[in-house]
């Protein structure tokens, strides 16, 4: 079983600051492996533990993304392919195309796992686009993947329902964070990760006449701010409880 895991070198949203106009300050912002990609890596490693084979990390990202790739390698993946490109991050079509080409070069794979979306922009576009490029069956939002021979049973966690699909390998799936709890690499694994093979590719090496032109352009990005009402009720407990109840009803938080 050869499994590819697509990872993104994402902006660390927990450290992100915005300027007074609400524009995120991306210059010098901390970065990390996109949170849910660790779930995809974990799932691939569990599949490998059961069926044997190899786990390959594939990343389209800038030179600094090596840090992210090494983090995924430290979890236990065998090797990595790094498409060094500064253009990635917000152009899902271009990213998915480069991932496809990189996978074609280092494949074939029995399964390609991605996260449901990245932890910085959470657009969730790359996995289905990638499946489309690869012309492979796709299951999004997987909360369980069971492999038996060449058939994968995938439970999808959808908005207010769940659905189980049966796919034949090879396939592409995106996983939700509930699918597993990613392991923490040990310090020895972190140090050994830098010795694992990492192939470097450039977009020029991969792009062909079928390379897509971008269909979208990011015009502006703003941090969403939540204005809290900070209402304080004063008085005796019975009185304030009633006032709180009325206020919650008036806001439609609880039924009237």
Partner 1 sequence: MESLYPDRAAEYGEVLSALGRYMQEKILPLSASYDAHSNSIAKARSELLKNGILQISHPKEYGGLGLPFSIYNLAIQMLGAADASIALSVAIGNTVAEGIQMFGTEEQKRGYLPRLVSGDALGSFSLTEPASGSDARGSKTRARREGGNYVLNGSKMFITNAGEADLYFVFAIAEKGPSCFLVEKGASGLSTGEDLPKMGMRGSRTAEVRFVDCRVPAENLVGEEGRGFDYIKAMLNGSRIVMGSICVGVAQIAFEKALEYSKQRTAFGKPISEFQLIREKIADMKTNVNAGRMMCLYASMLKDAGAEFSSEASQAKVFATEMSVGVCDSAIQIFGGYGYTTDDIHRHWRDARLLTIGEGTSEILRMLIASRELAHSI
Q: Which residues bind partner 1 (CB under 8 A)?
A: 67, 70-71, 74, 184-188, 190-191, 194
d(CA 178, CA 213): 35
Q: Are 113 and 4 in contact (CB under 8 A)?
A: yes
Least separation in angstroms between residue 109's CB and partner 1 is 27
Using alpha carbons, select from 119, 148, 113 the residue that is nearest to residue 134.
Answer: 113
Rank residues 185 and 203 by Cβ distance to partner 1 and give the closer one.
185
> Distance from CA of residue 90 to its chain's centroid?
13
Least separation in angstroms between residue 188's CB and partner 1 is 6
Least separation in angstroms between residue 191's CB and partner 1 is 6
Rank residues 188 and 215 by Cβ distance to partner 1 and give the closer one.
188
Least separation in angstroms between residue 9's CB and partner 1 is 14
Rank residues 161 and 225 by Cβ distance to partner 1 and give the closer one.
225
Rank residues 33 and 131 by Cβ distance to partner 1 and give the closer one.
33
Q: Are 97 and 215 in contact (CB under 8 A)?
A: no
3-state secondary structure of 151: strand
H-helix or E-strand spanning residue 247: helix 237-250
Least separation in angstroms between residue 172's CB and partner 1 is 29
Rank residues 188 and 236 by Cβ distance to partner 1 and give the closer one.
188
d(CA 181, CA 230): 35
Least separation in angstroms between residue 184's CB and partner 1 is 5
Q: Are 196 and 54 in contact (CB under 8 A)?
A: no
d(CA 75, CA 18): 32
3-state secondary structure of 142: strand
d(CA 116, CA 236): 48
Rank residues 36 and 171 by Cβ distance to partner 1 and give the closer one.
36
């Amino acid at each position: 079983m050869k499994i590819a895991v697509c990872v993104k070198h994402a902006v660390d949203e927990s450290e992100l600051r915005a300027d007074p106009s609400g524009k995120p300050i991306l210059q010098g912002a901390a970065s990390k492996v996109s949170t849910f990609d660790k779930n995809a890596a974990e799932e691939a490693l569990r599949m490998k533990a059961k069926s044997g084979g190899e786990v390959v990390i594939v990343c389209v990202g800038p030179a600094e993304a090596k840090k992210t790739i090494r983090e995924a390698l430290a979890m236990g993946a065998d090797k990595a392919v790094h498409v060094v490109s500064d253009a990635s991050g917000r152009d899902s079509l271009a990213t998915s195309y480069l991932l496809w080409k990189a996978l074609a070069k280092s494949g074939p794979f029995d399964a390609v796992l991605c996260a449901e979306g990245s932890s910085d922009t959470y657009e969730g576009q790359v996995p289905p686009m990638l499946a489309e490029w690869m012309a492979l069956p796709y299951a999004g939002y997987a909360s369980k993947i069971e492999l038996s021979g060449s058939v994968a049973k995938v439970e999808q966690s959808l908005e207010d329902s769940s659905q189980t699909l049966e796919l034949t390998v090879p396939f592409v799936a995106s996983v939700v964070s509930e699918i597993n709890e990613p392991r923490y690499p040990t310090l020895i694994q972190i140090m050994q990760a830098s010795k694992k093979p990492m192939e470097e590719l450039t977009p020029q090496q991969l792009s062909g006449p079928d390379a897509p032109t971008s269909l979208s352009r990011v015009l502006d990005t703003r941090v969403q701010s939540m204005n809290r009402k900070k209402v304080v009720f004063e008085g005796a407990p019975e009185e304030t409880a009633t006032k709180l109840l009325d206020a919650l009803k008036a806001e439609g938080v609880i039924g009237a």
